[in-house]
Structure 1
Amino acid sequence: MFINGMDDLVVFVAVAREGNFTRAAAKLSVSPSAVSQTMRALEERLGVRLLTRTTRSVTRTEAGERLLNEIAPLLDQIDQHLSAVADLRGRPAGTVRITADEFAAQHVVWPKLFPLLETYSELTVELITDYGLTDIVAQRFDAGVRLGGIIDTDMIAIPIGPEMRMVTVASPGYLQKYGTPEKPEELTEHRCINLRLPTHGGLYPWEFGSGENEFRVRVKGPLIMNSVLQILDACLAGVGLAQLLDAQVAPHLVSGGLVEVLGQWSDSFPGYHLYYPSRHQQTAAFRVVLEQLRGN
């Protein structure tokens, strides 16, 4: 059955992936009514329902799931080939999508990419923050930025930052009021600020040592947050102990706003890496972003 152009299929893939007409419309820069009309017309031409609509969500039917699995990779390949052709112009252009955790986005990725955006006016970087180890293929990211020790082995991983440490810190006021823990096991008796991991919903266990000597401590306390930047603010306010990256707390250790404890149990580990699929077709835009993050 012939379909007039690929626009209808592009709209279908966007709706199927987003599970929402409004989000799909925003991604395509069109109105939600236009998306709805396009989907109705596509389903009428095919003679089969592709999506099940409710007041709150949009889910794929069996036919919709099959169509998505068949055409989405083809459309992605077409996008990649068009980007490769556009590279012949000689100047990086187009959008590079990167996922990074909050701290990496603010302190590692953005400072390096800012001058790049000043140089290449036709380059767009979409930087999405997320603590989970995002499936960049399924979510259509070009690359991700995470700490080196948690990246899947089937990805190409390139270091873009120095080794780091997780350090346990508290404000001087907290330590004066509640005392200083001498061993990691004593943390269970202290007020600790926990990080809720968005991906799995669990609390992040505090890590000590490395290699065969690595161990974790489950802590508790009066506050649970899902942002390391918010945890830092709460720790500075004296709410409790926190475990954060050394680079994040370094200025506050120098100023005296925070004090490191249990330092003898804090070992270094691989820092931030840029990771991407080994079969990723590199456009000129992606290559220039890659080299900028590598520091070359």
Structure 2
Amino acid sequence: MRRRLKPGEYAEVRAFAAVAEACSFRRAAADLGLTPSTLSHAVRAFEDRIGQRLLNRTTRAVTLTEAGTKLLQDLRPALELLDDAVAAVGIPEDMPVGTVRLAAPRLAIQMLVGPAIRRLARDCPHVTLDVRTVEWPGDLTGGFDLGIQYGNDVAQDMVAVALTKPFTAAVVGSPGYFADHPPPLHPADLVRHRCIGCLSGPAGALYRWAFERDGETVVLDVGGTLVTDDADLMLDGAIGGIGLWHGIDQVVQPMIDDGRLLRVLTDWSPSFPGFHLYYAAGAPLSPAVRAVADALRSRG
């Protein structure tokens, strides 16, 4: 027979989850308004009661055991439901309430999530958006409700909805760089230029620069003095004259407008799918998840 928690044991479960999330008795105690010794006693009592060590404790760190890691993963959804139920008391029935977990690349967070949070704060104050930076989400494992990815290539059991228009590639460099290097007129000219390498995709492979014009396609391996997977570093490098960057028009246009960057090979720039929101097909979205999806799609 499955053992049920007694009423007094829920506090011990909360104590364990707080310490596990914070990886610190002191920080968790401050969050809960308790003393570290009280919290330590509660967690120890919980471990004794279930007969499993859940936390490894040293004077310098608190880490989860294998059993503790599994228990925390199993507890998170249940604790979030409890929090949502308590938070919903006194809230009108038609008002979305709850925590929504979203996985998204950093660029999507910068472009889309910031404005969506402001809309949610205004229109859905009882919805909490838990956002995690995941460059290539791929699926919704890990307890996520929604994900954002480049393009609409998703599994059969997923639904993908466009959030942006297609992106257009943009090769840019600084005026200072072009003062010392003649602008390329054809993609083949890039072999004589310093180019900023981008590590891309789930495997972190070096991105090959692709160009198209009048049915002709050119794909190049480029080289330079910087290779990174950090888009901000690539952009800073281009502005600082380190080399040319193969970026996205929506990202670089403000710097082109203010003169910090110059665009080249414009007539060779291909387009590719923009950001898409995706979620599990079949079951209807909860009001809170629907509210977040609507906020991400809104342009108002």
Report TM bin, short chain. Answer: 0.7 to 0.9
Uncovered stretches (5+) of structure 1, i.e. residues with no partner:
none
Q: Aligned equivalents of 1:31 and 1:207: distance in 2?
A: 56
Q: Within the alignment, does 1:227 sit opposite 2:244 as a pair?
A: no
Distance (whole Å) between structure 1 residues aligned to residue 294 and residue 182 of structure 2: 47
TM-score (structure 1 length as normaliser): 0.75
**2:55 maps to what in 1?**
51
SS state of the match for residue 127, structure 1? Answer: strand
**TM-superposed deviation, 1:88:** 6.3
Structure 1 residue 32: deviation in Å?
8.8
User: Contact conserved, 2:25 with 2:40, CA < 8 A, in 1?
Assistant: no
How far has the Cα of 1:292 moved from its partner? Answer: 2.4
CA contact (8 A) 1:19 1:59 kept: no
So what's the TM-score if we normalise by structure 2? 0.74
Q: Tell me what 1:143 maps to.
A: 146
Deviates more, 1:122-131 or 1:241-250: 122-131
Give the Cα–Cα distance (whole angstroms) in 2 for the partners of residues 101 and 193 of structure 1: 20
Tell me the secondary structure at the aligned position of residue 159 of structure 2: strand
Identity %: 30
Aligned position for 1:260: 263
Tell me: CA distance 1:67–1:288, structure 2 relative to 1, closer, same or farther (3 Å). closer
Secondary structure of 2:247's aligned partner: strand
Q: Displacement of 1:272 after TM fit? A: 0.9
From 161, 165, 168, the equivalent of 1:162 is: 165
Whole-Å Cα distance in 2 between the matches of residues 258 and 207 of structure 1?
19
Tell me which residue corresponds to 1:133.
137
Please list the CA deviations of residues 172-222 of structure 1 after superposition, one character each: whole Å capped at 9, or x if unmatched: 32123123334445545432223456975x354144158x98775443322
Contact 1:99 1:128 (8 Å CA) reproduced: yes
Would the aligned equivalents of 2:152 and 2:161 in 1 still touch at CA under 8 Å?
no
Alpha carbons of structure 1 residues 260 and 83: separation in structure 2 relative to 1, 3 Å? farther
The residue aligned with 1:284 is 287
Q: How does 1:167-206 map to 2 (within 5 A)?
A: 167-184=170-187, 186-196=189-199, 202=204, 204-206=206-208
3-state DSSP of counterpart to 1:146 = strand
Task: For 2:260 and 2:269, locate their aligned partners in 1 and report how far apart those are by CA, in whole Å.
Answer: 20
Tell me if the contact between 1:225 and 1:231 (Cα under 8 Å) persists in the aligned partners: yes
Output the CA distance in 2 between the equivalents of 1:206 and 1:184: 12
* Contact 1:131–1:197, Cα closer than 8 Å, also in 2: no
Return the letter of the residue paired with 1:222. Answer: T
**CA RMSD for the aligned pairs?**
4.1
Distance 1:168 1:76, change over 3 A: farther
Match of 1:99 in 2: 103
Structure 2, unaligned runs of 5 or more: none
Shift of 1:268: 1.4
1:271 Cα deviation after fit = 0.8
CA distance in 2, matches of 1:32, 1:186: 66
Provide the C-alpha distance between the structure 1 equivalents of 2:135 and 2:25, rounded to a whole number of angstroms.
25
Gap change, CA 1:219 and 1:76, over 3 Å in 2? farther
The corresponding residue for 1:124 is: 128
1:273 to 266, 272, 276: 276
State which drifts further: 156-165 or 123-132. Answer: 123-132
The structure richer in helix per residue is 1
Shift of 1:81: 8.3
